[in-house]
Amino acid sequence: MGKKELKVAFLLALRSLQRGSRSSTILTILIIGMCFTNMIFLPSMFSGIGQGITKQLVDYETSNVLISPKSGDQYITDLGATLDLINGMPGVQRASPQFSKGATFKYRQRVLGVSVRAISPMDEKEVSPVYTKMVAGSYLGEGDTGEIIIGKPMAGDASVKQEDEFQPSLGGVRVGDSVTVEYGNGYTKDYRVKGIYYTGWSPVDNAAFVTWTDMEQVEGKTLDKADYITVRAKPGYSEQFIKNELLGYGVGVNGKVQTMTDLLSKSVGKVLQSFAIINMVSLIVSVIITTVVLFIVITIKTLNSRKQIGILKAIGVDKEVIMHNYGFQVMILGVLGIILGIIITLALAAYMYVHPIVTPEWSAYLYITPWDLLINSVILFCAAVVAGYVPAYQVSREDIQSAMRA
Amino acid sequence: MIEITDLQRIYHMGTVEVRALDGVTLNIEKGEFLGIMGASGSGKTTLLHLLGLLDLPTAGRITIDGLDVLHLTDYEKTMFRLYKLGYVFQDYALVPDLTVMENVSLPAMLRKDRTEEQVKKDSFSILQKIGLCDRRDHLPRELSGGQQQRVSIARAMVNKPDILFADEPCANLDSENSKMVLELFHEINEEMKQTIIMVSHEDWHKDYFHRIVRLRDGRVMSDEKNISAH
């Protein structure tokens, strides 16, 4: 197959698309575009959910590195010294400890069991964006006592009856209201609600935060222990680097050091793995559908052109030229369809970025990387070429007499 | 020179055997304008298709300039058609998506011995000869039947083939356009000394043929020179 033959095949393909049935060409491009969108939409949405969950885990639970009590221990002890050590290490933006205590909240006639988390607001602001999620009032200040911030679902809505609530709440607490908190150790205190936040991350939205100083009052002593410490890495420093540094400095003696990736593989790893399996099945189904659709489209096209194929062969056009003519047609249609698919997908991604599908547990948007677009484009293009060449190969081998009689 | 020896073509339609050609033997000299005539079903188109390597005979032998063409491979036959033969079909058989110029250029574009410039020049000159230069950018559907058939002749002639086959080229044309087409064949034959083999069932066409072969039931009924030809 020489250059001249390929050139003639390309000319025939181009002219057929330019001057043939415009509606058929547009329809085929649209089908390929929709197949591409179908291929990439569901996996991208799962990726988006996965990314969202990961981001929320990092933002609200683990940060980049989590230090938890060693196996058999309940708390990380010697907290002050540990924090000083961590905060002085290269690559560490900030370390923030948390200490949780079970409590019962009372507001008017409502009673609700909640976990109260003690934080150091200045430190916490460096590792978690909860302070940016205030929907009413303001975040805790470093020296605050007698003040509390609570999640919006926990605060509730006064206009919703208790029996109609999706989850139990305090029935419409507002900023400035006073709530009574009875801790597990019997200590009871009235707090003024300083702020209400909403992060979309259920474990945080159903918790309340007080300052470390306040929790020390609850405990009745200086609190030199923590449930866990979250560590935020400075930009440019990897989690693994921080983990190695922490272990190198002996933090591992006092607590268990795990990166976010270590934790992800344990916690949501199975979920993400399930997503990956669903994505693979969805991809295979989409590729099969695309191949079959294109096979039908090109088969119809070749069957409708049988007579013309016979004539071309009669005047000395080689069957390879005829086959490549249809091959080029499907390649051009494939490329245009993929471009359309990319446009549709990116438009959907942009729309869903602004208007994500929000559920109580997660927000779904399309997470698409250039690599995803490239891989899906290559797969679809290959499927299109196979689907186009098979009928083209068959029809180009038909004998001239049968083709011309068609 | 074309030598046809005991050519047979048998079709099987279910259990029925149809002898479309039943032992045709002919010699056709270079430069002849040969008319193959006969009633419908006499085997004239079958003979033309076999000579043009569009079909395979059941038995017999065809040699063109000493070459046994029936033993060529599929690709060799395609190349033989491209370089040595030209076809004009009853229904013009132009590629509907190509312009007149592109239709005419198509066979020439595939020849390895032609440059792009030569293809353009040859196509342009043949279009000038058939008087359709001004319609070169038109699509076939924008032309009349007569014009389309002239384009079909131009396409067949662009590679300057040794033999031109025409299968009832005037069947879809009125008498005026038919005459124009026949005159064109006559000119080609006279000027280029082209061998032309044309199938027709119109009796008045015989005035243009140098030699007339009449078929009946797949056999040669008569083979005579036409001394009164144009």
CATH code of residue B191? 3.40.50.300
**Number of domains present in the structure of chain B:** 1
> Which residues of chain B lie closer than 8 angstroms to A7, CB-CB?
109
According to DSSP, the residues that pair with A181 across neighbouring strands are A105, A189
Q: Is the pTM of this model over 0.80?
A: no
Question: Distances in Å between the alpha carbon of B189 and those of A266, B14, B156, B227?
Answer: 88, 42, 13, 16
Contact assignment for A318 to B110 by CB distance below 8 Å: yes
Q: Which residue has the tokens 């188109």?
A: B45
Contact assignment for B102 to A18 by CB distance below 8 Å: no
Q: Is the pLDDT of residue B140 over 90?
A: yes
- Domain annotation covers residue B124: yes
> Which residues of chain B lie closer than 8 angstroms to A313, CB-CB?
78
**pLDDT value of position A356:** 85
- Domain annotation covers residue B212: yes
Residues B142-156: tens digit of each pLDDT: 999 889 988 998 999
Q: Provide the shortest C-alpha distance from residue B227 to chain A (in Å).
A: 32
Cβ-Cβ pairs closer than 8 A, A with B, add up to 73
Q: How confident is the model at residue B91 (pLDDT cuts 50, 70, 90)?
A: confident
Q: How confident is the model at residue B92 (pLDDT cuts 50, 70, 90)?
A: confident
Q: Which range of residues forms the domain containing residue B113?
A: 2-225
- Domain annotation covers residue B129: yes
> Which residues of chain B lie closer than 8 angstroms to A326, CB-CB?
none
What does A211-267 look like in DSSP terms, one character per residue?
EHHHHHHHHTS---EESEEEEEEPTT--HHHHHHHHHHTTHHHHSEEEEHHHHHHHT
**pLDDT value of position A361:** 66
**pLDDT value of position B57:** 94
> Which residues of chain A lie closer than 8 angstroms to B81, CB-CB?
314-316
Smallest Cβ distance to A19: which of B54, B97, B107? B97
What does the block give as tokens for A173? 């607490």
Break chain A into its structural domains and give their ranges.
3-57+269-405, 70-254
- Domain annotation covers residue B230: no
Give pLDDT tens digits along chain A (406 positions).
788 899 999 999 999 999 888 888 898 899 889 988 988 888 888 888 888 888 888 899 889 999 999 888 889 988 888 899 999 988 999 999 999 999 999 998 899 999 999 999 999 999 999 999 999 999 999 888 999 999 999 999 888 888 888 888 999 999 999 999 999 889 999 999 999 999 988 889 999 999 999 999 999 988 899 999 999 999 999 989 999 988 888 877 777 899 988 887 776 677 777 878 888 888 888 888 888 888 888 888 888 888 888 889 999 999 999 999 989 998 999 999 999 999 999 999 999 989 888 776 677 888 899 999 999 999 999 988 888 888 888 888 888 888 877 6
Cβ burial B98-107 (10 Å sphere, 16+ → b, else e): bbbbbbbbbb
Rg, chain B, Cα only? 17
d(CA A270, CA A260): 15
Residues B160-172: tens digit of each pLDDT: 899 999 998 888 8
Residues B197-213: tens digit of each pLDDT: 999 988 888 888 999 99
Q: In terms of Cα–Cα distance, which of A367, A356, A281, A363 is closest to A44?
A: A367
- Domain annotation covers residue B53: yes
Side-by-side strand order, sheet with B219-225 = B85-88, B163-167, B195-200, B33-38, B211-216, B219-225
Helix (H, G, I), strand (E, B) or coil at A290: helix
Residues A336-347: tens digit of each pLDDT: 999 999 999 999
Q: Provide the shortest C-alpha distance from residue A406 to chain B (in Å).
A: 13
Helix (H, G, I), strand (E, B) or coil at B111: coil
